[in-house]
Every structure is written in C-alpha cells, then in structure tokens.
Amino acid sequence: AANEVAVAAFLEDRIGFLDIPVVIEDTLSALPASEPRSLEEVEAVDGEARSLAQSCLARSRVSA
C-alpha cells in the first residue's frame, strides 16, 4: 500500500524517485508488526498504511 501511494505520487511528479523508499520505510516503521488473521484485518492495515504514507508525503522529509 505504501509503495502504491509513493509510486503514484512520483508519477504525479509530487516526489522524486529516491523519495519512494523513504515513504515506504517511514510507513512500515510506524505500523505495528502483526500477522492479520482475516481479510478484514488485511483491509484495515492496508487502509492505515495508505493513510500513513499520505501523511509522510505531507511531511517535510519528503521533497515535494
């Protein structure tokens, strides 16, 4: 999910290519490590990851 958000931002010329792993790393480090036990949990984690990746894009660490 974080990769998809970051690549979309890159394709929209909102971030540079080298910013993609920064978004992914920041997103993964903010999520708790857990193993989803249902499709609903997978969907919830996916949504949370997308939200965190969007937040990362808004922060100054990623060049806009």
Enter the pTM of the model.
0.85
Helical ranges in 1-64 per DSSP H: 2-11, 20-30, 39-58
- Report yes or no: 23 and 6 within 8 Å, Cβ to Cβ: yes
Q: Over the stretch 1-59, which tens digit does the pLDDT of each residue have? A: 999 999 999 999 999 999 999 999 999 999 998 899 999 999 999 999 999 999 999 98
